[in-house]
Amino acid sequence: MTRRPLCMLCLILMLSMCATDWAGIPLIRGNPLPENAVSWIEEHPQATLCGEVIQTTENEFSQSVYLSNAYLIYQSQKLSIENVKVFLKQREEVPAGTVILVSGKLKRVEEKRNPGEFDSQQYYASQHIYYLLNNAEIIEKSENYSAYRQGISQLREYLAGVLGKIAGKEAGIFQAIVLGDKTSLDKEVKLRYQMAGIVHILAISGLHISVIGTGLYQLLMKTGLGIWGSGFLALLFMLQYGVMTGGSVSTMRAVCMFLISTGAKITGRIYDLPTALAVSAMMILGESGAYLYNSGFLLSFSAVAGAGIVVPAFTRTLEKGKEGRTGKLCTALAASAAIQLTMLPVSLYFFGEISLIGIFLNLIVLPTVGVVLGSGVLGMILGCVNLKIGSLMIFPGKILAGFYEKLCMMAGNLPFGTWIAGQPEIWQIVAYYAVLASAVLLLTYRKKKSSTSDKEKDKVQEKNIAGNLRVRKYLSLFLICTALFLISWRKTESFSITCLDVGQGDGIVVRTPEGNCFLVDGGSTNKSGTGQYQILPYLKNQGISRVDGILVSHTDKDHISGVEEILELTAQKLNSVEIGCLYLPNWKTPPEEWEKLSQLAKEAGISVKQVKEGDCLKAGKLEMQIVAPLENASGINVNEDGMVLQVKYGEFTGLLTGDMGEETEQKLLEMGDLEDVDFLKVGHHGSHYSTSQQFLDKIKPEYAIISCSSTNTYGHPAPEIVERLEKAGCKVGFTMKSGAVTVSWQKGKIRLKGYLGNYI
């Protein structure tokens, strides 16, 4: 590294950025806007602001506009709020570069509220966006706009249309690969690619820039333009290509490295990958420091670092093995594994899982994806002239795209295709990379040969070198195994019940130290994709690869919408978390939603069982006693006939009440089925129709959680219920205030902790 001073300088700068963030200086995270602007927005969310349109996106549901250099008018002053994403109430033509005056309701971009959930606040902060303007109306707009940016946008839209016509059902894949446009990409296809570990080919990356940029450079060289002319034109074109394809972080990284590579050719300098990688990272971070915690940024750079630094160390060592050469297949497999090893901590930190089958599938996909990209580009260009010629040119890529889909479907059917290890701690990531770096240094270590000309001594030295290489190979393998152990180690968890923040709904995860896990309800009425975006990410984040059972208290949407998603994904082989059984309340006349859940479970190959009062589910030390539904429950009133669970683990007792109201509470009191509990999941989201004083006097909970949304229109939780709980000496946690709330029990101690704060 001493021979790479620029690389070292960039690394030091990045470490300094991390250090300032850890010290609490808000350069990377947090809201950097002036305090007076933040305070004014909180007091006046209905606001009018002005800004320049930089991009417009549309889907079948809405139109959104990205504004740059946006500002508010406050006390005759312009308060800058940097960039803003505006969701328009009605569709309107707003070309890029137009300055608009728009009115709507400003809302701070929400922080993630559950472990494993996508961090939209950090994602938008990378684009200097800290507020969203919802339900907006354009009051006034300028007649002038940017002909260049609007032209780029229209060109992208036109080319996407051409690909749509010539690529048929694979249009979404080609639009993603060639133009970076994923709006038409089928959700199911994207999930299949993710599970197969080849989703990276759908993003504009170094492969795309290399194929297109290098191809263009060589073509221009053949025209006699020379190094300077060819390099300059290739750079200019690739910069425009990066802008047209959306300017994602992987695209920016690839374009920056292509710029440095081409610059080295033009000036006659040697291209050094570590230096180019570090300089590219600082160029991106200089534009927005928030990228330092961006998953796309870290995955892109770790993949290139693996390909450029770790892969050569692995492959060179294999080629110098005992047999002299190991074969192309073994070398390629080692290269694929080396990249995955480099990306492993980043993947686990953000997603909690990694595709194992992807190591093998990339051996097939990476050598052929250039054909898909090349045929897509040529087909698109020729399609602008003649659609039939374009269709003919893109045909080889369509065949390969269809083949990739078959590979993905095959990967989804494999039982051990994905490894769910959970999110590692920061110290584990640091230790992992330190040990992996030691293994790479050991493999790349080269001892200088003796200068003596004695042939006998040279032979002895060669034998010693071969022996040392063998020792270093085994020692490196041991270090890699040690690194894998470090990153996969998880401390023994205490028994816990976690109420996820799913908005207006319920989603409860019960876990034991022995590894048993149950999901009780899972749904929301004000959040879509609860199963995919809150429940499954949480399970993967915690390293939970199997849920022993899903228990549904009743069939209101705010309790089952996420469960339905999970069952549908499982049936489509798009869920890597194994589901053991679905437990439904035993009702005489179950509603349509009950039947739908049962059918979905059967399609997914999941057994379905009906439970009623008196039944007991056991898993190791965990006992889940069914307190309701009562015998002969009809299921007509799903709230009052819902499932109620008494959870016991060791000396801990909890009560999960679904949406049970005072009517069922009274019945249970009369039957004498209730006892003192340590924890209560408050019924019906804290509604004043539940949790009666008589009920509380009987169960005497010490801790309670209310799951509800801060924006609900039902008045949940009712103030009198909160007051009643507090007067009973109960410590109460709220998902609307603390995000996911967990009650844990270990060695007789109970703790209540919110994800967004400390212990409650």
Crossing angle for the helix pair 455-488 and 311-319, to the nearest 10 degrees = 140
Domain final residue pick, 420, 448, 467: 420
Residue 574 counted as domain residue: yes
Tell me: do 648 and 627 sit in the same domain.
Answer: yes
Average pLDDT over residues 575-582: 95
Range of the domain at 349: 153-420
Tell me: do 158 and 277 sit in the same domain.
Answer: yes
Domain final residue pick, 371, 400, 420: 420
Q: How far apart are CA 538 and CA 509, in angstroms?
A: 9
CA distances from 687 to 386, 551, 713 (A): 64, 22, 12
**Does pLDDT of 612 surpass 90?**
yes
Cβ atoms of 365 and 198 within 8 Å: the answer is: yes
Average pLDDT over residues 11-31: 78
Tell me: do 176 and 93 sit in the same domain.
Answer: no
Q: How far apart are CA 413 and CA 572, in angstroms?
A: 10
Q: Whole-angstrom distance between the N-terminal and C-terminal Cα of the chain?
A: 48
Measured torsion, CA atoms of residues 672, 674, 676, 680, in degrees rounded to the nearest 10 = -160
Picking from 591, 580, 642, the residue whose alpha carbon sits closest to that of residue 617 is: 580
pLDDT in tens, 524-544: 999 989 999 999 999 999 999
Residue 456 counted as domain residue: no
Picking from 608, 652, 614, 606, the residue whose alpha carbon sits closest to that of residue 633 is: 614
| Residue appearing with tokens 């409650």 | 760
Tell me: do 218 and 312 sit in the same domain.
Answer: yes
Number of domains in the chain: 3
CATH code of residue 740: 3.60.15.10
Tell me: do 74 and 166 sit in the same domain.
Answer: no
**Based on the number of CB atoms within 10 Å of its own CB, is 667 exposed (0-12), middle (13-18) or buried (19 or more)?**
middle
Tell me: do 238 and 293 sit in the same domain.
Answer: yes
Average pLDDT over residues 52-76: 84
Tell me: do 183 and 76 sit in the same domain.
Answer: no
Picking from 131, 170, 125, 120, the residue whose alpha carbon sits closest to that of residue 46 is: 131
Q: How far apart are CA 752 and CA 760, in angstroms?
A: 5
Residue 448 counted as domain residue: no
DSSP conformational letter for 438? H
Residues in the chain: 760
**Based on the number of CB atoms within 10 Å of its own CB, is 238 exposed (0-12), middle (13-18) or buried (19 or more)?**
buried
pTM above 0.85, yes or no: yes
Residue 375 counted as domain residue: yes
Domain final residue pick, 363, 385, 420: 420
Crossing angle for the helix pair 273-287 and 5-22, to the nearest 10 degrees = 40
Tokens for 133?
A: 């303007």
Tell me: do 524 and 396 sit in the same domain.
Answer: no
Cβ atoms of 627 and 681 within 8 Å: the answer is: no
Q: How far apart are CA 83 and CA 66, in angstroms?
A: 7
Cβ atoms of 255 and 263 within 8 Å: the answer is: no
Cβ atoms of 629 and 657 within 8 Å: the answer is: no
Beta bridge partners of 617: 624
CATH code of residue 96: 2.40.50
Helix (H, G, I), strand (E, B) or coil at 82: coil
What pLDDT shows up at residue 738? 93
Residue 695 counted as domain residue: yes
Residue 454 counted as domain residue: no
**Does pLDDT of 630 surpass 50?**
yes
pLDDT in tens, 713-757: 888 999 999 999 999 999 999 999 999 999 999 888 999 999 998
What pLDDT shows up at residue 322? 46
Give the pLDDT band of residue 326 (cuts 50, 70, 90): very low
Most confident option among 171-180, 261-270, 363-372, 572-581: 572-581
Residue 23 counted as domain residue: no
**Does pLDDT of 634 surpass 70?**
yes
What pLDDT shows up at residue 324? 47
pLDDT in tens, 122-180: 999 998 999 999 999 999 999 888 888 888 888 988 999 999 999 988 999 999 888 88
**Based on the number of CB atoms within 10 Å of its own CB, is 3 exposed (0-12), middle (13-18) or buried (19 or more)?**
exposed
Tell me: do 397 and 509 sit in the same domain.
Answer: no
Average pLDDT over residues 351-357: 93
Q: How far apart are CA 741 and CA 752, in angstroms?
A: 7
Residue 727 counted as domain residue: yes
Tell me: do 48 and 170 sit in the same domain.
Answer: no
Tell me: do 538 and 679 sit in the same domain.
Answer: yes
Picking from 502, 557, 560, the residue whose alpha carbon sits closest to that of residue 534 is: 502
Tell me: do 505 and 387 sit in the same domain.
Answer: no
Cβ atoms of 581 and 623 within 8 Å: the answer is: no
